[in-house]
């Protein structure tokens, strides 16, 4: 049995990760300040004696003895991370410093949940890990993009300078149950609008693309990365390589919900990446990982989750 710390464990991805790690027979400590996460996401785990919940903010130092650290604490929805951009930078950068310092002291493995946002609005398409990105350093998305880029820098410097057992994955748009229904991300927005027969709000002309990965696939990838030996440090892309336009996502959501919603086009948001698709050859070769759940199937599961949530 391993002892594992998951920061941001009460969030969307973190809650699924905590559950998967417990199911593998590990002891899991979930650390969260509940900024965007919720106890509701992990309430079903609370009766497990090997699950522990700690309210803490990663911008403050924290000490614990564990074998592995998954560092997920950070708001991920643009609406949430732009709410207090200075805090977003602090969470990414000071959170990384605090968790890396802990990993250095206790000699644990540590995995950083980085993001496809490090590629910014990519000129190279699809995106391999070698691409350095096209990021605006002073725009409204920069607090997140540059915060995550700086966190990657810290992970690689702690590895080079202090031999910390670091691992970095770059996660592409992930969706599924436990997303916050009002977090403003495209999948949750479209489903909530469709379930209420409200207008589906496309920002821009809907030709921008994303590649959507279902949460269960992603969590398998995170664990596979952590389970590699110390020579594997990444960065490794984790995402579903099937690319969709936002208009296609809107149409599929209307079809699967049987909604009467109409699509409306609103002004594009600033610095919105026009395209995003991962190359996942490294994940396939090094981790033996690839996604198995396609958008239609995953979207249906997510719609069912939001329908239940609405009824409750």
Chain positions contacting ligand UDP, by CB under 6 A: 78, 173, 185-186, 189, 201-203, 208, 210, 246, 269, 272
Name the minimum Å distance from CB 201 to ligand UDP.
4
Q: What is the DSSP letter of 137?
A: T
- Verify cis geometry, omega within 30 degrees of 0, for the bond prior to 303: no
- The values of phi and psi at residue 201, to 5°, are -95, 105
Name the minimum Å distance from CB 307 to ligand NAD.
20
Instruction: Establish if 34 lies at the interface with ligand NAD (CB under 6 A).
Output: yes
305 is catalytic: no
Name the minimum Å distance from CB 46 to ligand UDP.
29
Q: What is the DSSP letter of 67?
A: S
Residue of 173, 193, 259, 302 interacting with ligand NAD (CB under 6 A)? 173
| Tokens at 95, concatenated | 């959170």
Q: Are strands 209-211 and 243-245 parallel, antiparallel or unpaired?
A: antiparallel
73 binds, among ligand NAD, ligand UDP, none (CB under 5 to 8 A by kind): ligand NAD
Q: Are strands 174-175 and 213-214 parallel, antiparallel or unpaired?
A: parallel
88 binds, among ligand NAD, ligand UDP, none (CB under 5 to 8 A by kind): none
217 binds, among ligand UDP, ligand NAD, none (CB under 5 to 8 A by kind): none
Instruction: Establish if 13 lies at the interface with ligand NAD (CB under 6 A).
Output: yes
By C-alpha distance, which of 1, 101, 6, 109 is closest to 53? 6
Instruction: Establish if 12 lies at the interface with ligand NAD (CB under 6 A).
Output: yes
Among 81, 119, 144, 158, the active-site one is: 144
Q: Per DSSP, which regions of 116-253 are E strands?
A: 165-171, 174-175, 200-203, 209-211, 213-214, 236-238, 243-245
* Active-site annotation, residues: 144
């Amino acid at each position: 049995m391993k002892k594992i710390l998951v920061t941001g464990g009460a969030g969307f991805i973190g809650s699924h990760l905590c559950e998967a790690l417990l199911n593998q027979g590990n002891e899991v400590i979930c650390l969260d300040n509940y900024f965007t996460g919720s106890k509701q996401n992990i309430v079903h785990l609370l009766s497990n004696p090997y699950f522990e919940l700690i309210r803490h903010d990663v911008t403050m130092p924290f000490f614990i003895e564990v074998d592995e650290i998954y560092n997920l604490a950070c708001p991920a929805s643009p609406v949430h991370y732009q709410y207090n951009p200075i805090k977003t930078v602090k969470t990414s950068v000071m959170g990384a410093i605090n968790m890396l310092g802990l990993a250095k002291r206790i000699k644990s493995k540590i995995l950083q949940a980085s993001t496809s946002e490090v590629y910014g609005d990519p000129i190279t398409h699809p995106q391999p890990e070698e691409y350095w990105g096209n990021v605006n350093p002073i725009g409204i998305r920069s607090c997140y993009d540059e915060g995550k880029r700086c966190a990657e820098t810290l992970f690689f410097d702690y590895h080079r300078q202090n031999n910390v057992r670091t691992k970095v994955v770059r996660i592409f748009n992930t969706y599924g149950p436990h997303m916050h229904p009002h977090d403003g991300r495209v999948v949750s927005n479209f489903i909530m609008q469709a379930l209420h027969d409200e207008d589906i709000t496309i920002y821009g002309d809907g030709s921008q693309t994303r590649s959507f990965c279902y949460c269960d696939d992603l969590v398998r990838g995170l664990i596979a990365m952590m389970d590699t030996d110390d020579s594997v440090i990444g960065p490794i892309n984790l995402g579903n390589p099937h690319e969709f336009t936002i208009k296609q996502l809107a149409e599929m959501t209307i079809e699967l919900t049987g909604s009467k919603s109409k699509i409306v086009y609103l002004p594009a948001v600033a610095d919105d990446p026009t395209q995003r698709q991962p190359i996942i050859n490294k994940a396939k070769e090094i981790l033996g990982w690839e996604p198995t759940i396609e958008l239609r199937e995953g979207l249906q599961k997510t719609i069912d989750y939001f329908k239940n949530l609405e009824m409750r």
